Structure 1
Amino acid sequence: MSISLRSRFWRMVLRGMFKNQKTTIVALRANSANNSKMLGKVSKTTQVERIDIDGIQAEWLRPLSASQVNVILYLHGGGYVTGSIEDHRMMCGLLAESAGVKVLIPEYRLAPEYPFPAALDDSLKVFHWLLAHGYLPENIVIAGDSAGGGLSLAVVLALKEKNAPLPVAVICLSPWADLALTGQSHTTKAKAEAILNKDVLHEWALCYTDESNLTNPLVSPVYGDFHGFPPLLIQVGSEEILLDDSILLAEKARSAGVDVTLKIWDGMWHVWQALGDLLPENKKTFEEIGEFVQRQFGRIEKK
C-alpha cells in the first residue's frame, strides 16, 4: 500500500533531521524543546492541567466529552534520555479525543543522570497514585511510544511480579522492547529507517543501564514472562529498525496466551503518530487505537 504524498514529504524531512545525525544528549533535548512548539498543541476542546505527583511533574489532558472514570497513563518516548510532555502533547491530545478518555502524562526521570530503574520507579509511582486517587485497575490503560512503549510493558511486568493489580490493557507504539538490539530488522530495515540508528540506540541503552543488564525483562520486556498479561495493542511501521521488537513481542505474548493485536503499518516509520493531524494516515491510526481502548473498557463493563 502506498503512503500519502504528505507522509512521503514528512518522511523525507525527518530523514534529513535525524538519520545518521550524531549529536549529544544536550542537543537532543534542545531539539525536543524546539519541536514542542509544533507538537505541543491540542484542540480547544481539550483541557490541559499541570499537576505534581509526589515530586513528579505530570499533565492531564481532558477532552470535554471524556469519561470521568477511565484514564490512559501515557509514558513518552525518547530513548530514556530525552522526550517530554510538551513534544508528546499533540499526539496524546488526539489519543484522548479518539478514545474519549483522560490522558495522564508524567515526566519520569531521564538517563544518564537517572539510569534504570528511575524511569520504571517513577512510572510505578504514578500508577499507584492513580489507584490511591480512586481509579480502579480495570479503568486504566497504560500506553507509550518507543522507549515509553517498552517502559509500559516493564511497568506491567513489575506489577505482575508483585502480584499487584494490573491495568486493563497496554498500548505500544513502535516499542523499543529489546535494548540488546538483537532483531534482524536493525540490518534489513537500516536503509529504509528514517529516524533511528542502531549505534545511537546502543549508546542510549548504555546510558540507561549496564551492558550486563540489557536482557533484564524490566529493561527489555521481550525477555519477560507474559502469562497473565492484559490485552496488548501494538502499532509499528513496516520501515523501521525496531520492527522486529514488535514482531517478537507479539509472538512472545501470544505464546503465553495474551490477546495481542499487532498492526504493521505499511510504509510508515518510527512513531509516525507523533505528527498527529499532519499525516492523513493518522485519522485511521487513532481510530484504531480509540476502538481498541473502548473495546477494553466495554469488555470490563459487560462483566
Structure 2
Amino acid sequence: MSRQQRDALDAMLRSAPRSQTPPTVEEQRSGFAAAFAGPAPQGIVTRRTVLGGRPALELEPAEAVGPGRLLYLHGGGYVIGSPDTHAALAGELARRAGLRAVSVDYRLAPEHPFPAAVDDGLAAYRELLERGTGPEDLVLAGDSAGGGLTLATLLAAREAGLPQPAAAVLFSPWTDLTLAGESMRSKAEADPIFTEADIRAYADLYIGAGDRANCLASPVLADLTGLPPLLVQVGANEVLLDDAVRLAGRAGAADVEVTLEVGPSLPHVFQHFYDRLDEADAALDRAARFLDAHLSTAGRRAADHLEPAH
C-alpha cells in the first residue's frame, strides 16, 4: 500500500485550522456537513424515509440482490453528523456488499443526551424486524460514535429479547466514554484529527453528569456474550485505538467471533477516503466480503432450521 498516500492524508488532516476558542455545536455541525456532505456513490438510488420514528436515508445500489439489508449508524461524537454526511461511506459499503442500506438520523446531543441515540438505534432495528426482515438477512455497521452506537444497539436488542443480526462491522468505534484507553494519551502525537480534550468534550455533551461507565454508553465495559460476528477496523494513528483493541479482546473472551484489523499509520475512519487511499478501498472490500459471508452463513442456517423433517 502507498506510504505516499498515507503521508499526504496525514498532512492534509493536520493542516485543518483549529480555532483558538472552542466552536459552538452549530459551528461544528455546519463545518462537518461542509466537509463531508455529498452525494451517494454513482449508481445508488437514495430515498428519504422514516424508520423507528426518525428520518432516515435509504441507499439502494444497482447491484443489490436478495433480501439482505444493512442498517448504518453514522459517526460524529453523538453531537454532529447525519445520514447526509455519511451517504458516501454508507453507500460505498452497501455498493461493495450488494446490499440495500438504510442510515438513521438518530437524535443528537446535547439537545437529546444519552440514551436517546440508543433508543433510536433500537427502534430502527426493531422496526426492520417487524417489517419482515429476518435477522439472518440483516447486518449493522457504524463508524466512530456510530460504531459504539451499533454495539449499544446490539446490547439493547439482546436485553429486549430480540434476535441478533447476522454480523456487524465497526469502523474506528468509540466504545469507552470513560476515556480509559492508554492510546488516548500514547497516540496523542500520532493522531492528526483528535485530542483527548476533543473526545472528552463530546462525552460531556452526550452524557453530561450521567454514568460514563453505563454499558450502553461504554459498550466495551459490557458483557458481550451472544453478540453476532464482529469485524473491527481501526487506524494505528488514533487516540481511539484502544477502544477497538480492548473491544476485540473482550468480545473474544465472551466467545464472540471477532476480527480486528489495525491499519498502520492510518487515521480515524480512514475508510472515508476510498478512491484516494488504497488502504481504504481494501478495507471496504474486506468489510463487504465479511458481511456477505455471514449473511450467506446465517441464511443457510435459517433455511436449515425451517426445512421440514423427513
TM score, norm. by length of structure 1: 0.95
Equivalents in 1 of 2:17, 2:152: separation in Å?
27
Q: Secondary structure at the match of 1:104?
A: strand
Structure 1 unaligned segments of length 5 or more: list them: none
CA contact (8 A) 1:75 1:145 kept: yes
Q: Is the 8 A contact 1:18 1:196 kept in 2?
A: no
Q: Deviations over 1:244-277 (max 9, x none)?
A: 0011000101001000000001110000111222
Q: Which residue, out of 105, 108, 125, partners 2:106?
A: 108
Who is 1:30 aligned against?
Answer: 30
Q: Residue 52 of structure 2 contacts residue 125 of structure 2 at CA under 8 Å; is this kept in 1?
A: no
Mapping of residues 213-252 of structure 1, within 5 Å:
213-252=211-250
Q: Residue 49 of structure 2 contacts residue 57 of structure 2 at CA under 8 Å; is this kept in 1?
A: yes
Q: 1:133 aligns with which of 119, 131, 134?
A: 131
* Structure 2 counterpart SS, 1:47: strand
SS of 2:245's equivalent in the other structure is helix
Checking the alignment, whether the CA contact within 8 Å between 1:66 and 1:100 is kept in structure 2 is yes
In the TM superposition, residue 118 of structure 1 has moved relative to its aligned partner by: 0.8
Give how far 1:164 is off: 1.6
Cα displacement (A) at 1:206: 1.4
Q: Find the counterpart in structure 2 of residue 42 from structure 1.
A: 40
Cα contact 2:272–2:280 (8 A) shared by 1: no
Indicate the structure whose relative CO is greater, using CA pairs within 8 Å and at least 6 residues apart. 1
Shifted more, 112-121 versus 7-16: the winner is 7-16
TM-score (norm 2): 0.92
Query: 1:92-146: CA deviations, max 9, x gaps?
Result: 1110111111111010000000001111111111111111211011111111000
SS in 1 for 2:289: helix
Partner of 1:173: 171
2:118 maps to 120
Question: Which residue in 2 is equivalent to 1:88?
Answer: 86
Gaps of 5+ in 2: 302-310
Q: CA RMSD in A?
A: 1.6
Letter in 1 for 2:148: G
Residues in 2 aligned to 1:7 and 1:108: alpha-carbon distance in whole angstroms: 32
Match of 2:286 in 1: 288
Q: Give the match for residue 13 of structure 1.
A: 12
Task: Give the aligned residue type for 1:30.
Answer: S
Alpha-carbon distance between aligned partners in 2 of 1:75 and 1:141, rounded to the nearest angstrom? 11
CA gap of 1:257–1:161, structure 2 versus 1, over 3 A, is: same
Residue correspondence of structure 1 range 59-74 to structure 2 within 5 A: 59-74=57-72
CA apart distance, 1:196:
1.0
Is the contact between residue 91 and residue 273 of structure 1 (CA under 8 Å) also seen in structure 2?
yes
Q: C-alpha offsets along residues 48-73 of structure 1, whole Å, 9 cap, x if unaligned?
A: 11112354110111111102411110
Counterpart in 2 of 1:210? Answer: 208
Quote the Cα distance in structure 1 between the aligned partners of 2:58 and 2:224.
30
Shift of 1:19: 6.6
Distance 2:7 2:209 in 1: 37
Helix, strand or coil at the partner of 2:232: strand
Aligned to 1:112, what secondary structure does the other structure show? coil
Tell me the number of residue pairs that the alignment of Structure 1 and Structure 2 aligns. 300
2:305 alignment counterpart? none
Compared with structure 1, are the counterparts of its residues 53 and 300 closer, same or farther at alpha carbon in structure 2 (3 Å cutoff)? Answer: closer
Sequence identity, in percent? 38
User: Quick one: distance in 2 between partners of 1:247 and 1:86?
Assistant: 29
Q: 2:136·2:298 contact (CA, 8 Å) conserved in 1?
A: yes
Seen in structure 2, the aligned counterparts of structure 1 residues 122 and 105 have a Cα distance that, compared at 3 Å, is same
By how many angstroms is 1:197 displaced?
1.4
